[in-house]
Amino acid sequence: MDTDFIYTYPALIPGILKKRYKRFLADIELESGETITAHCANTGPMIGVCDVDSRVYLSKSNNPKRKLAYSWELIEVDNTWVGINTALPNRVIKQVLEQEKFPPLQGKYNQVRPEVPYGKNKKSRIDFLLSNESEKNPIYVEVKNTTLATEKMALFPDTVTTRGQKHLQELMDLLPDAQPIMLYFINRGDCNRFSPGDNYDPEYGKLFREAVEKGVKILPCRFNITPQGIRYLGLAELVL
């Protein structure tokens, strides 16, 4: 195992994307010539990361109860591998937080709790609540998968997201009694800058800048994606 990887993929299966449809389905042609239908966890528009005839990689589950055995994990875009499984970033971040191996937050907590109720009437759940013995200034971390890019600039969101707007507002509401963090998991290694996707959701961009001004910490985290595993590359430059 490569010790540089913060996450190692299971053995992935190569193929060619033939069709993405009904938001959560993708037809993939395998090397054998067989075409299979894979589950697509990313139900968004996937702008720039679902071009037909692109190289892709799949994982395969041995769970007999699954309707679709294959899951679409990666796609190649301009010679760069992009992770498109939206379920994976939270698993990766949970793993590195529990191992205390995530540089931006090392040494700032000793307890990790996922999916903790918070917000108005406790009707929302934060991805991760980090705390220490004193329980003072707990750290609330929300994770957003980010694949949209233009000229080495990662952008989020890629469509109007009222849920994302709500998350920004709820993080602001935590101040000053907690340390709210919005972590953007840039699921491709070719971006060194990050900015809100104003053209796709102007209201999100407005709330994003308000959150920054009020003290919500932004962590635009860069990751190098390969069919073998994921490496952490550091923080992208924040462009407001």
**pLDDT exceeds 50 at position 1:** no
Q: What is the DSSP letter of 9?
A: P
Query: The tokens of 11 are what?
Result: 């053995």
Please tell me the distance from the alpha carbon of residue 145 to that of residue 194, in angstroms, as a whole number: 13
CA angle 28, 33, 36 (to 5 degrees): 35
CA distances 154 to 181, 184, 189, Å, are 18, 9, 10
Confidence class of residue 165 from pLDDT cuts 50, 70 and 90? very high
Please tell me the distance from the alpha carbon of residue 193 to that of residue 200, in angstroms, as a whole number: 17
Q: What is the DSSP letter of 122?
A: G
- Cβ(25)–Cβ(37) under 8 Å? yes
Q: Hey, what CATH topology would domain 87-238 get? A: Trna Endonuclease; Chain: A, domain 1 (3.40.1350)
Nearest to 97 by CA among 138, 126, 140, 128: 128
Strand partners, 146: 186
Arch. (CATH architecture) of 7-83? Beta Barrel (2.40)
* Per-residue model confidence (pLDDT) at position 134: 72
Q: For the chain, give the percent of residues with pLDDT over 90.
A: 92
- Mean pLDDT, to the nearest integer, of 88-94? 97
The DSSP code sequence of 162-188 is HHHHHHHHHHHHHTTTSEEEEEEEE-B
Q: Where are the domains of the chain?
A: 7-83, 87-238
Please tell me the distance from the alpha carbon of residue 157 to that of residue 205, in angstroms, as a whole number: 9
Confidence class of residue 3 from pLDDT cuts 50, 70 and 90? low
The pLDDT tens digits of the residues spanning 14-61 come to 999 999 999 999 999 999 999 999 999 998 999 999 999 999 999 999
pTM over 0.85: yes
Confidence class of residue 105 from pLDDT cuts 50, 70 and 90? very high
The yes-or-no answer to whether 7-83 and 87-238 have a common fold is no
Q: Where do we find the tokens 């390969």? A: 226
